[in-house]
């Protein structure tokens, strides 16, 4: 059964979609590639308590890696990219090219970017940690201001308060 909860966050409301197998989606209001709301199932804000606890700890800087079970649907290539994203350490970034190399597909930079943009479980699969080749903040389904906020949050907790331009 698919159900969803709407969670408060510093980024605005997040819609968490859960199935019997785990977290299938975590979406920001207005993000690109947002599925139709009817796919989210009925609303029940009491579901996914482990995710809610982990998000609270993440916002406080006390959690660097999520461990909720995932049930994100995607192609085998997308799954490979999303798995590699989970290996990008908290408080750091990598480029799309770095990610392409990490999955053994160095010429697939654009495809990696597309898969990154289609990540259905933002934050838990940290697609916000991917930046342009020269470190520029490029593309983010939730918008660049949210990406900047997330990177700053992690950087602040990881290394004590450096600011992003």
**Catalytic residue annotation:** 127
d(CA 88, CA 135): 15
Q: Give CA–CA dist 65/45, Å, rounded.
A: 23
Question: Helix 76-85 and helix 109-117: axis angle, to 10°?
Answer: 80
**Mind giving me the DSSP string for 54-100?**
HHHHHHHT--SS----B-----HHHHHHHHHHTTSPTT--EEHHHHH
The secondary structure of 91-147 as a DSSP string is T--EEHHHHHHHTT-TT-HHHHHHHHHT-SBTTTS-GGGEE-TTS-----TT-HHHH
């Amino acid at each position: 059964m698919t159900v969803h909860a709407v969670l408060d966050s510093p980024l605005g409301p997040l819609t968490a979609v859960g199935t019997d197998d785990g977290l299938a989606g975590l979406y920001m209001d207005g993000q690109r590639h947002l599925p139709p709301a009817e796919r989210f199932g009925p609303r029940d804000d009491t579901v996914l308590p482990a995710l809610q606890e982990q998000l609270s700890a993440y916002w406080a800087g006390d959690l660097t890696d999520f461990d909720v079970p995932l049930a994100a649907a995607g192609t085998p290539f997308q799954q490979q990219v999303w798995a590699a994203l989970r290996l990008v350490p908290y408080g750091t970034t990598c480029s799309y090219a770095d990610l392409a190399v990490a999955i053994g597909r160095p010429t697939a930079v654009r495809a990696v970017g597309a898969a990154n943009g289609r990540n259905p479980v933002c934050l838990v699969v940290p697609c916000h940690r991917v930046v342009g080749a020269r470190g520029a903040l490029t593309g983010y389904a939730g918008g660049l201001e949210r990406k900047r906020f997330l990177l700053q949050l992690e950087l602040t907790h990881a290394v004590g308060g450096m600011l992003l331009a």
